């Protein structure tokens, strides 16, 4: 009886002719175009070397967060080194100690999805899948098919403890995968819809098909990157990370997927709210990128202002440490104890160094702190 129940979006009679209300998307699309225009304008202010640095940081964020969404934790230094090997002409790859086969392979996917403008095809997608799993050939305890579509129809997205599992989604049967992927690739390569709407629909469509044993989410987001990258103008790579924005709202991501792909919750077969969520995520990613770039400009101005001052190596090290992560992420601010921990000097030397940094205007006392509890932060004004 259960097999006759129409519950999943691919069972709807109109699938895959997705329905949405374009009149509800106009304001968001205008905001996105506005923010992209600002990003394009700001990018012209930087040297090519600085743009490469911004691109590497953005791509590193994308790689780390697309993995985190799936529960895989990658070391930032490893991902960073893998990107620098590919993109930084001055990087000493021979002495690289941090990149791994996992991060190297993920970097290959993201560089290809961002730079390679040729049509998507099965060989390319299988290549991405191979990059994700060639080092393991397993998903948890289960051996999986690599670089080819799944050979079974029992593909479910499940959560919950043993005996209390909840099925969030059941994917299309294996015998429908080839035809669905043919239609999907035709859409990606030939459809002329607004690129931001197209990216949203391609993202969820691939998730609906779920053609692989594992890695479907990461490949769906790489496809999203591929479509959005068709719109780059002044830079090789996008200057924003959509996976970072998604990971910040991971619960919202899975909730909207549930509400869209389950026909009990989406009786109208309407993808409008998925697209709105996706556009909001995209807009948020661009806004965050603008903040990141503004901070980079502030860091540059900081060193332009203080470079001529007689700072010692210890002071420069501490300033760079705080600048790299930002005042708001340097928990509790700088004090003598933290300075000693970072520089391995005596208390007297730490006090002298901090006093000099205050006199130089490099750091300032945090409001509301004084005496034994005094704390400092970088002075970016």
More reliable by pLDDT, 49 or 209: 209
Res 243 pLDDT > 80: yes
> Is residue 36 marked as binding?
no
* % of the chain beyond a pLDDT of 90: 82
> Is residue 220 marked as binding?
yes
Average pLDDT, the chain: 94
Of 48-52, 98-102, 176-180, the poorest mean pLDDT is in 48-52
Q: Using one digit for the tens of pLDDT, what is the confidence trace for 322-342?
A: 998 888 889 999 999 999 999
Over range 106-113, report the average pLDDT.
Answer: 98
Q: Using one digit for the tens of pLDDT, what is the confidence trace for 25-42?
A: 999 999 999 999 999 998
Res 222 pLDDT > 50: yes
Of 246-250, 289-293, 359-363, the poorest mean pLDDT is in 289-293
The pLDDT, as a whole number, for residue 1 is 37
Q: Could you say which of 12, 80, 129, 210 is catalytic?
A: 210
Domains 2-295 and 309-378 alike in fold:
no
CA distances from 310 to 103, 299, 340 (A): 40, 18, 20
Q: Using one digit for the tens of pLDDT, what is the confidence trace for 263-308?
A: 999 999 999 999 999 999 999 999 999 999 998 889 989 999 999 9
Over range 253-264, report the average pLDDT.
Answer: 97
> Is residue 217 marked as binding?
yes
What is d(CA 147, CA 130) in angstroms, rounded to the nearest whole number?
5
Tokens of 55: 């691109």
The pLDDT, as a whole number, for residue 328 is 87
> Is residue 215 marked as binding?
yes
Res 139 pLDDT > 90: no
> Is residue 249 marked as binding?
no
State yes or no: cis peptide before 16, omega within 30 of 0.
yes
Over range 59-78, report the average pLDDT.
Answer: 96
User: Which of 279, 272, 293 has its CA nearest to residue 61?
Assistant: 293
CATH superfamily for domain 2-295? Fido-like domain (1.10.3290.10)
The pLDDT, as a whole number, for residue 199 is 98
CA 223 to chain centre: 13
Specify the residue for token string 């859409």.
187
The pLDDT, as a whole number, for residue 193 is 96
Domain boundaries 309-378, corresponding CATH code: 1.10.10.10
Tokens of 178: 């080839």
| First-to-last C-alpha distance (Å) of the chain | 69
**210 is a catalytic site residue:** yes
> Is residue 154 marked as binding?
no
Res 242 pLDDT > 80: yes
> Is residue 254 marked as binding?
yes
3-state secondary structure the chain: CHHHCCCEHHHCCCCCCCECCHHHCHHHHHHHHHHHHHHHHHHCCCCHHHHHHHHHHHHHHHHHHHHHHCCCCCCHHHHHHHHHHHHCCCCCHHHCCCCCHHHHHHHHHHHHHHHCCCCCCHHHHHHHHHHHHCCCCEECCEECCCCCCCCCCCCEEEECCCCCCEEEEECCCHHHHHHHHHHHHHHHHHCCCCHHHHHHHHHHHHHHHCCCCCCHHHHHHHHHHHHHHCCCCCCCCCCCCHHHHHHHCHHHHHHHHHHHHECCCCCCCECHHHHHHHHHHHHHHHHHHHHHHHHHHHHHHHHHHHCCCCCCHHHHHHHHHHHHHCHHHCCCCECHHHHHHHHCCCHHHHHHHHHHHHHHCCEEECCCCCHHHCCEEECCC
Tokens of 261: 């792909």
The pLDDT, as a whole number, for residue 312 is 97
The pLDDT, as a whole number, for residue 165 is 80
Res 153 pLDDT > 70: yes
Q: How confident is the model at residue 104 (pLDDT cuts 50, 70, 90)?
A: very high
Over range 88-96, report the average pLDDT.
Answer: 91
The domain limits of the chain are: 2-295, 309-378
Q: How confident is the model at residue 3 (pLDDT cuts 50, 70, 90)?
A: low
């Amino acid at each position: 009886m259960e097999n006759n129940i129409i519950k999943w979006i691919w069972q709807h009679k109109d699938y895959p002719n997705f329905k949405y209300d374009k009149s509800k998307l106009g304001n968001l699309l205008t905001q996105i175009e506005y923010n992209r225009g600002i990003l394009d304008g700001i990018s012209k202010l930087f040297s090519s070397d600085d743009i490469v640095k911004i691109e590497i940081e953005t791509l590193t964020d994308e790689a780390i967060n697309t993995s985190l969404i799936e529960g895989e934790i990658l070391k930032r230094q490893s991902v960073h080194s893998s990107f620098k090997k590919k993109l930084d002409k001055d990087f000493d790859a021979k002495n690289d100690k941090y990149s791994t086969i996992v991060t190297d392979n993920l970097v290959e996917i993201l560089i290809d999805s961002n730079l390679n403008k040729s049509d998507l095809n099965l060989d390319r997608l299988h290549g991405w899948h191979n990059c994700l799993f060639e080092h393991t050939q397993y998903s948890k305890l289960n051996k999986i098919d690599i670089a080819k579509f799944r050979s079974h129809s029992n593909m479910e997205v499940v959560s919950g403890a043993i005996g209390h599992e909840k099925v969030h989604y059941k994917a299309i049967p294996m015998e429908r995968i080839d035809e669905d992927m043919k239609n999907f690739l035709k859409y990606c390569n030939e459809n002329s819809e607004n690129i931001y709407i197209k990216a949203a629909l391609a993202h969820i469509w691939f998730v609906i098909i779920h053609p692989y044993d594992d890695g479907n989410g990461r490949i769906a987001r790489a496809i999203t990157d591929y479509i959005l990258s068709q719109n780059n103008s002044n830079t090789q790579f996008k200057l924003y990370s959509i996976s970072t924005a998604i990971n910040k709202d991971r619960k919202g991501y899975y909730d909207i997927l549930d509400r869209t792909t389950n026909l009990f919750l989406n009786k109208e077969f309407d993808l409008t709210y998925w697209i709105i969520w996706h556009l909001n995520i995209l807009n948020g990613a661009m806004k965050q990128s603008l903040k990141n770039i503004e901070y980079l400009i502030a860091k540059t101005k900081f060193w332009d202002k203080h470079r001529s001052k007689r700072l010692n190596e210890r002071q420069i090290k501490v300033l760079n440490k705080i600048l790299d992560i930002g005042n708001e992420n340097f928990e509790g601010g700088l004090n003598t104890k933290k300075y000693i921990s970072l520089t391995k000097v005596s208390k007297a030397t730490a006090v002298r160094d901090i006093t000099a940094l205050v006199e130089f205007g490099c750091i300032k006392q945090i409001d509301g702190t004084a005496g034994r509890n005094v704390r400092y932060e970088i002075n970016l004004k």
